[in-house]
Amino acid sequence: VTIKSGLPSLESLFEAARWAPSSYNDQPWNFVYATKENPAEFRLMLDCLVEGNQRWAKNAAVLAISVARLNFAHSGKPNRHALHDVGLAAENLALQAAALGLGAPLGPLAAAGGTQRRDEGGADNVAGTHRAIHYGPRRAVATSHERRRTVRIRRTAGPLSRPASRG
């Protein structure tokens, strides 16, 4: 999928995500995306975001939402690693986008909340909206996303204040 606005093919982004490690190589992710070139689809995707993110994400060339399948495909049993695995795929996608100059360092967005559905077989295989991701030339998104330009302070107190600890 090549976007007319001059962005490189999106196929390489989703291929990078496909190479992410996952429990049992289950690859419990799906990415749903919309480009500005299809205004109706883009509007539907934009409406999935929380209101505060909609104000500036409307300037992105591409919006994508990652969805996690929470049960293993091979057994139907719960996959307690699914969200972690989706995060790995999303990181691979973001790294590829950054390498292509698509503005991935602006980061993931909060979607308006999870969804639940039954899979085709009727099993309670919950698919939850995990994160929304925006891509586009950095200048297009950054112009209306000023809060990202402020210095952020990392957490310094509490049990998770350090990224690693012994034993």
pLDDT digits over 109-137, tens only?
A: 666 554 444 444 444 454 555 566 766 65
What backbone phi and psi angles, to 5 degrees, belong to 112? -75, 0
> pTM of whole model > 0.75?
no
Coil, strand or helix: which one is 85? helix
Structure tokens at 5: 């606005």
